[in-house]
Structure 1
């Protein structure tokens, strides 16, 4: 269970308000450029310009989304539609412009420039102004002789003495207001950001439908590929062995009367072919659903998998019960495929596997001390694992810097089966 994120301190909030003030000018320039590029869409140059500026706007929004989540102690999701691969520039631009989240980003820029900046400036001014008032007497000498500083619109300071007796109490008041009000000001700014940059229920539902559609398509493709593999293995393996078995038995039947020795050789060949066919059928069954998985559960199956693996592998499993058969099968094959990748590509001397179950989620961690550089898009089988897990709403995250170590974290939402252990 992840520990809650610590709340930011007042000084951290003060630093964030300074950063917000520094971001105002770039946001204003970005907003102006976006509006200009929309006008230039009448000519070709507006499309690539708008595409780049909208991508930059989303980067800005992501930064503010993360920091607002940090202030509020929660995580703010990205609301954008998933990009459809293979789209040309024009389709991508129109897809962005028809995404409600894009217009909410633009509304956030307007609001941030006006209201968000006012809250940040207030938080900054209270502390800086308070310190300036408290220390006014120490630098009063640098002001002109006829200086007359008006404080709070009511009090006048015209000498070092008045700077001490008036400036210090006013400064302490400012600092006190900042001390007790800083978190409220910055939380208000964060809530304003979250209100515009967090996904709406409609956007969340639309994204969920898109994810399920893609997951269903991936599942159908995976199942079709699996059926083709089974058909190919049966055709090239067991089926060929059984055909050879039938031919050997037929020839033995024809020669048994006139040449018993040759018939015995043919029967021996038939027996060997039947043994090989049986072994291939057993391997095929293990590839569909290993018997050890049904008999001993996920923990026992992974232990057996590790025993057959030539690489030294540490295993730590903490699952307080049995999972459903489809989830166990998906988790088993995900671990098996990951270990195969480690053996083939990582150049590792050691690997480790950790399985935990907490709050309705199975988490699988497979790591190695190899060369690193694993990429899910590099054709190493990680994409296949991701597709397999997506059928269960699972996720796969890879951390593999060059030089290692590589850590693959897979998580699958699931429930324990009551009464099974």
Structure 2
């Protein structure tokens, strides 16, 4: 595939057209197996079979989406409803009720006819042109009385006629292919996009589903955060303050008869007050670090790295301040990721990159540890994902066995004026 933003060449389009002709066979087989498995749903075996074939079909058609986007120079989105966390029966019902599933099936029917025909014309023009130009070189392999009728009225019956008829005709075919093949392949890609891209209704439905999940995750996250604050206050500062009150009460009672004991109790009370103040500061720092408000995201990340036990390289290029909630989410996402590196990665080095471009904050945190990190393995990545989802953010993990691990986070946001922060 060409790099992003680079238009495919005619030879690349020729290769993709030839591949499309070959893909007609697996398309037919996949469609036949899919329809058969759907027909077997009333008996139990059809349920896992349909789920497996639908999953395979979606991967197969996502490949078509990527290649159509490559030809058209634009992304073709996936239209499917999320089925994560669902059981087998509910997942199958959701997939069968999804309009995108039936549009996929319609595409497979259309692709086997119209799409393959467009690709065949684009491929056939070049192959036919080359065949006509080289006809004289392999004329000897034909029977002695061979007589070819080209385009219905041009007769070729000798090596000489193969040269003065075949060569100009072949050049004409190649000329037509050179002019028409981009249009033919773009027509095939447009056909793919028209059936496989999400409709406006599907896009809105998926957006509603995404926002519903995001809202539920945000509510759960906030509830968990409130419980953590309540627990920290109850077990920490509140206990210290109760001990402080008891020490002061006992000192008040003993100050007259035993001044030395009273002084010791006052010393304990002073220590308890200092410890309670420290715990309250830690609690506030866990809610919204003061350094984040004072020095912004860049200063807060730099301060975070100073207290990190691993050598950590930092590169930040943000031309301004972001909204306070976005800075907070980004800060805690980086902090939690670095904590995961220390706990789980076995790394000797980490690196952080923060950049802002096209209305999006891009955060990259990497390490040279053992790798193998996934959002579902209890390393806290799922919590980061939930925190980011409240801002329509996404998290992508690349962590092959043996490392390195690279976690990329995207947060859509806008820069704000300094007096608006």
Range into which the TM-score falls when normalised by the shorter chain: over 0.9
Moved over 6 A (4+): none
Give RMSD over aligned pairs.
1.3
1:176-200 deviation per Cα after TM superposition (whole angstroms, max 9, x unaligned) = 1111111111111000001000011
Residue 90 (structure 2) aligns with: 91
Q: Normalised by the size of structure 2, how large is the TM-score?
A: 0.97
Deviations 1:101-133 (A, max 9, x none): 001001100110000000111111111111110
Q: 1:312 matched to which residue of 2?
A: 311
Q: Alpha-carbon deviation of 1:12?
A: 0.9
User: What secondary structure sits across from 1:401 in the alignment?
Assistant: coil
CA shift, 1:84, in A, is 4.4
Corresponding residue of 1:253: 252
Name the counterpart of 2:13: 13
Equivalent residue number for residue 174 of structure 1: 173
Alignment of 1:205-216 (within 5 A): 205-216=204-215
1:419, 1:280 → 2: CA distance? 31
Residue 237 of structure 1 aligns to a residue whose secondary structure is helix
Stretch moving more, 92-101 or 259-268: 92-101
Deviation at 1:415, TM superposition (A): 0.9
Deviation string 1:29-73 (CA, Å, 9 cap, x unpaired) is 222222223333333332222222222211211110111111111
| Structure 1 residue 127 corresponds to structure 2 residue 126 | yes
Tell me the equivalent position of 1:322.
321
Look up the match of 1:381.
380
CA distance in 1, matches of 2:44, 2:190: 39
CA–CA distance in 2 between the matches of 1:385 and 1:34? 37
Q: Which residue of 2 aligns with 1:230?
A: 229
Equivalent in the alignment of 1:67: 67
Aligned counterpart, 1:151: 150
Using the TM superposition, give the Cα deviation of residue 146 of structure 1 relative to its aligned residue in structure 2, in angstroms. 1.3
Q: CA deviation at 1:95?
A: 1.5
1:40 and 2:40 correspond: yes
Q: For residues 277-331 of structure 1, what are the alpha-carbon distances to aligned partners after superposition, in whole Å with 9 as ceiling and x for unaligned?
A: 0110010000001111111111111111111112111111111111111111111
Bigger CA drift: 188-197 or 20-29? 20-29
Normalised by the length of structure 1, the TM-score is 0.97
Once the 2 structures are TM-superposed, how far is the Cα of residue 155 of structure 1 from its aligned partner? Answer: 0.8
The DSSP-based 3-state class of the residue aligned with 1:94 is: helix
Cα distance in 2 for partners of 1:50, 1:338 equals 38
Match of 1:350 in 2: 349
Structure 1 stretch displaced more, 346-355 or 61-70: 346-355
Q: Check 1:367–1:38 CA distance in 2 against 1; reply closer, same or farther (3 A cut).
A: closer
- List alignment gaps of at least 5 residues for structure 1: none
Q: Does 1:409 align with 2:408?
A: yes
Q: Distance in 1 between matches of 2:39 and 2:311?
A: 62
Taking the aligned partners of 1:37 and 1:354, their CA distance within structure 2 comes to 48
Q: Which runs of 5+ in 2 are unaligned?
A: none
Q: Distance in 2 between matches of 1:358 and 1:307?
A: 27
Q: Partners in 1 of 2:216 and 2:268 — Cα distance?
A: 45
In the alignment, which residue of structure 2 is the partner of 1:266? 265
For residue 22 of structure 1, what is the aligned residue in structure 2?
Answer: 22
C-alpha distance in structure 1 between counterparts of 2:256 and 2:282, whole Å = 38
Q: Secondary structure at the match of 2:376?
A: helix
The secondary structure found in structure 1 opposite 2:350 is strand
Pair 348,84 (structure 1): closer, same or farther in 2 beyond 3 Å? closer
Q: Give the total of aligned pairs.
A: 418
